[in-house]
A and B are shown apart, each in its own frame.
Chain A
Amino acid sequence: MIAVLGRRSFQVPAVRRAGHLVERNAILQRRGWPVIVSGFVEPLLYLLAIGFGVGALVGSTVTVNGHPLRYAVFVAPALMASSAMNGAIFETAFNFFYKLKYVKLYDAVLATPLGVADIALGEISWALMRGTLYALGFIVLMVALGLVISPWALVALPAAMLIGFSFAAVGTAASTFVRTYQDFDLVLTVLIPLFLFSATFYPITVYPGALQVVVQLTPLYHGVDLLRSLTTGMIGPSILLDIAYLVILGAAALALAATRLERLLLK
């Protein structure tokens, strides 16, 4: 047992092994495809309702760095960033927890050549693949509706994947701390304010100075700023900070998730 524990602990994740877990998830989803497809519907509805419905009330008054923007153009990248965050968190935190605690899936997985690091890699890759699919659908939709006004939007997809990766790592780490389903109320307690206050629906300049600083410390703000810069073409040095923030957050969360999982699964 000790020998197994030692070997497993230091196993470096391998794409081939982690791929088996991705395959397992994909096979299961063959039955649940309506749920996957309908996942496209929700961001579309948000875009129609907030971008165009509320946008008609706002008029053309959104000014970012002195440039007037159509409200739908302003809000669409923010909705794309939020949906990348939500998708990643729901796939990792909720589904992962379900497999970890209720189905005890990973106890079975660890009886195969897969190690803990492979599990983390496989689950995060799966969440990322699903998120990428949604982000791709969303960006195509934005182009179709004329909401992309810069060629920089070509890199919006990898940017959305970065947001997805960071939050998938955070979600996985968070799920290792969750004790029962009731604790997910706490996850929502964090997600909803992030969704609402990350300069999603109005420019950050609406806030008083001190609050602007607080908002800039939170993760989704950087995702929103990154995607908004790319789809509107208002690229400033701030996007380097956005990228650095998301990379560091993702890496730190991944390390934490791996450590916690070792302890939970191999104790």
Chain B
Amino acid sequence: MTGALRVLEHHLLVYRRTWKGSLFTSFVSPVLFLTAMGLGLGSLISRGPVRTVDGVSYVAFLAPGLLAATAMQSAFVETTYPIMARMQWLRTYDGMLATPIRVLEVLAGEFGWLAVRLALGSSAFFLVMLLFGTVQSGLGLLAIVVAVLTGLAFGAPIFAFTATQRTDNSFALIGRLFITPLFLLGGVFFPIHQLPQFVQGIAWLTPLAHGVALARGLSVGVLAPAAGIHLLVLLVYAAAGVVAARITFRRRLAP
């Protein structure tokens, strides 16, 4: 697996030059969202009929949900266009495969890098949550791990799909038909039980609802008995995605 480490090293070297650009998305953007939605909108909710959401202030409710949803979004971005670029537009993988690195090592390196990126972004987000005082339990630190898992639960299957594509046409549609609806209706901004029964069922089929519920429980410090199920769903999605990606990526790149 030294090949995978080489691939990871490649990404770290590139990132050394480009990390400043990701600073906005991973640090400034959560600050803005939590200020506007959490505090601004939260001030309306605290004067409204419910005052708190699921027993906590709106900003404390929103923050862990956004943490998981942001991981989902960055996993989506990282496993579509950049992968297509390395496979087809820039032919980075062809370059890598001309060395002793093998296809599955490239794949392992890519997933390793995805996990590193997700961990960095989620840690930055977690710092913002600490700044806003929304972490109410020491268990909250584990929410970073949950966010990374949520990202992988999306990133791995999307990676498998990207490996089957020749153009980038379908990426915008994935964003609009899956990622954005989940971001808005998947339990981040308001509790899922407010949705119609049928839509609730759909929401619980996706990894986001489980990632959000788990991250929220850890951040607030109340772990529901369903926590094990949430974790299991995330792991199953991530594992199934990795297995699928092994097949599609090898089919795409193996000579």
Binding site for B on A (CB under 8 A): 32, 34-35, 38-39, 41-42, 45-46, 48-50, 53-54, 56-59, 61-62, 71, 182, 185, 188-189, 192-193, 196-197, 200-202, 206
Contacts A35-B172, A196-B37, A197-B36; is A57 near B45 (CB within 8 Å)?
yes
**Which 9 interchain pairs have the tightest Cβ spacing?**
A196-B36, A49-B184, A59-B48, A53-B190, A59-B49, A38-B176, A45-B184, A202-B40, A201-B41
- Grouping DSSP codes into helix (H, G, I), strand (E, B) and loop, the B interface class, with mixed when no group exceeds half, is helix
Verify B185–A57 contact, CB threshold 8 A.
no
| Chain B: interface residue total (CB-CB under 8 A) | 35
Verify A57–B48 contact, CB threshold 8 A.
yes
* Chain B residues with CB below 8 A from A59, complex form: 48-50
Question: Which B163-182 residues have C-beta < 8 A from chain A?
Answer: 169, 172-173, 176-177, 180-181
Verify B176–A206 contact, CB threshold 8 A.
no
- Grouping DSSP codes into helix (H, G, I), strand (E, B) and loop, the A interface class, with mixed when no group exceeds half, is helix
> B137 at the A/B interface (Cβ < 8 Å)?
no
Binding site for A on B (CB under 8 A): 18, 21, 24-25, 28-29, 32-33, 35-37, 40-41, 43-45, 47-50, 53, 58, 169, 172-173, 176-177, 180-181, 184-185, 189-190, 194-195
Verify B176–A42 contact, CB threshold 8 A.
yes
* Chain A residues with CB below 8 A from B181, complex form: 41, 45
* Closest residue of B by beta carbon distance from A184: B21
* Chain A residues with CB below 8 A from B190, complex form: 49, 53-54, 56-57
Q: 9 A-B pairs, CB-CB below 8 angstroms?
A: A46-B184, A48-B184, A53-B184, A53-B190, A56-B194, A57-B45, A185-B21, A192-B29, A197-B40
Our pick among B18, B25, B33, B58 for the contact of A57 (Cβ within 8 Å) is B58
Complex: how many Å from CA A57 to CA B41? Answer: 10
